[in-house]
Structure 1
């Protein structure tokens, strides 16, 4: 028997799937970054950005002013202030439940994800879009989208940790699905507001999702070592 086969036999299907998804997300991020650096994303970036503007008037986003206001509210869900407050709330809830080690792990996972986002943006240093006015204030470089990445890192990691503490499978699915929808909405809002190219957002999503999946794998590994509280589950 080839030596690889017994190794694969000892790996859970869920763990193997997570590893494959992480690899796929990182490969996709690398491909986007390479295409962006070579200028190959410019055409599709421009087309998608202008698709969210009134035809013939790139200064005017689609929809009434209320839509633009709503998009600013949504984009705040990927901002550092909201994410820090929500993370602190969930860390506190886990601690109150007696899951103090899970709470500490969550704080480290989100904090290190924020650091990764800053490092990535500093490395690529892509200018912000200049085709349309920026409808909200921006201070850093464009690639990858920090809001999109941190939405994926934070909301998906929060969902995973909440799901681990939830005995019902349907609630586990609910938390993860809700986190994914919020992450997508934040990314779309960044393009709508004219502060990111679509490729920035796609890169932020993939790198953030890879980080969240990696954190989920580490949580399972720590659980098996008895370093954090075991996952609850089994109920429909």
Structure 2
């Protein structure tokens, strides 16, 4: 009577053990990466569907923008301009190049490939999405920044999500304690959030532009990381198999 449940439990336990073994880690990595991509792709699609005129999200966007505009103060504006700099194309590009040179000096070619694939591919994706949706930026009486390009999704926020997300993944591999890993993830999340809020405060983007940029950035980051990790582990497995002596 108890045999079928026992067998099912044994199979489940074997599945979990195999996923966390060196041989089964690749399957776990692919599964987690796919789940993250599907979840945040769904989030992005939900935001994009509400961009039609008279939708609730559009009204909420305007309300949030108006609230941020009402908080405007010279000191706060100066702070937000500094914060937004850390998500600018110039800073993120320069920091990515510096990070790439450091990885090349350490001969960390897999990490360098992951960085290039993440940042270059993410930049192209952001441009593609902007031209696909053609959403105009907020129209304000006294704008703090004046931009003519499309606003959805936010380039600063998406670039920050990709770059600081990549740095956090690198740090997660090197951090040896859970408190250290948690601190790294929180630092990256707070930085991205701060950049996104600065874009809304400065009048460069709506709230939905920022949220969609975070979702799209996470999707691309998960795709890039999963692809590179899959390539790296399959290569290591192949090299190990070649190096191992054949059984006689």
* TM-score interval, smaller chain: 0.7 to 0.9
Distance 1:167 1:201, change over 3 A: closer
Distance 1:132 1:172, change over 3 A: farther
Name which of 58, 65, 79 aligns with 1:42.
58
Once superposed, what is the RMSD of the aligned Cα atoms?
Answer: 2.5
Map 1:45-56 → 2, pairs under 5 A: 45-54=61-70
Deviation at 1:132, TM superposition (A): 4.5
Give the secondary structure class of the aligned counterpart of 1:225. Answer: helix
Map 1:33-182 → 2, pairs under 5 A: 33-40=48-55, 41-54=57-70, 62-164=71-173, 166-169=174-177, 170-182=179-191
Q: Which runs of 4+ in 1 moved over 4 A?
A: 5-15
Paired residues in the alignment total 217
Distance (Å, rounded) in 2 between the aligned partners of 1:98 and 1:145: 33
Distance (Å, rounded) in 2 between the aligned partners of 1:214 and 1:145: 19
Distance 1:90 1:171, change over 3 A: farther
Name which of 25, 44, 64 aligns with 2:40.
25
Name which of 234, 239, 244 aligns with 1:225.
234
- Counterpart contact for 2:135–2:152, Cα < 8 Å: yes
Distance (Å, rounded) in 2 between the aligned partners of 1:24 and 1:218: 17
Deviates more, 1:185-194 or 1:147-156: 147-156
Q: In structure 1, what is the equivalent of residue 225 of structure 2?
A: 216
Give the secondary structure class of the aligned counterpart of 2:50. Answer: helix
Q: Which has the larger helix fraction?
A: 2
Q: In structure 2, what is the equivalent of residue 58 of structure 1?
A: none
- Counterpart contact for 2:61–2:206, Cα < 8 Å: yes
- Counterpart contact for 1:133–1:194, Cα < 8 Å: no
- Counterpart contact for 1:157–1:215, Cα < 8 Å: no
TM-score normalised by L of structure 2: 0.78
Give the secondary structure class of the aligned counterpart of 1:133. Answer: coil
What stretches of structure 2 of length at least 5 have no aligned partner? 1-6, 237-248
TM-score normalised by L of structure 1: 0.82
What stretches of structure 1 of length at least 5 have no aligned partner? 55-61, 228-236
Q: Deviations over 1:100-153 (max 9, x none)?
A: 232133122211100100000011111111144321242410111111111111
Distance (Å, rounded) in 2 between the aligned partners of 1:150 and 1:123: 18
1:188 aligns with 2:197: yes
Deviation at 1:38, TM superposition (A): 4.7
- Counterpart contact for 2:110–2:228, Cα < 8 Å: no
Deviates more, 1:168-177 or 1:193-202: 168-177
Distance (Å, rounded) in 2 between the aligned partners of 1:83 and 1:91: 12
Give the secondary structure class of the aligned counterpart of 1:130. Answer: coil
Distance (Å, rounded) in 1 between the aligned partners of 2:30 and 2:161: 20
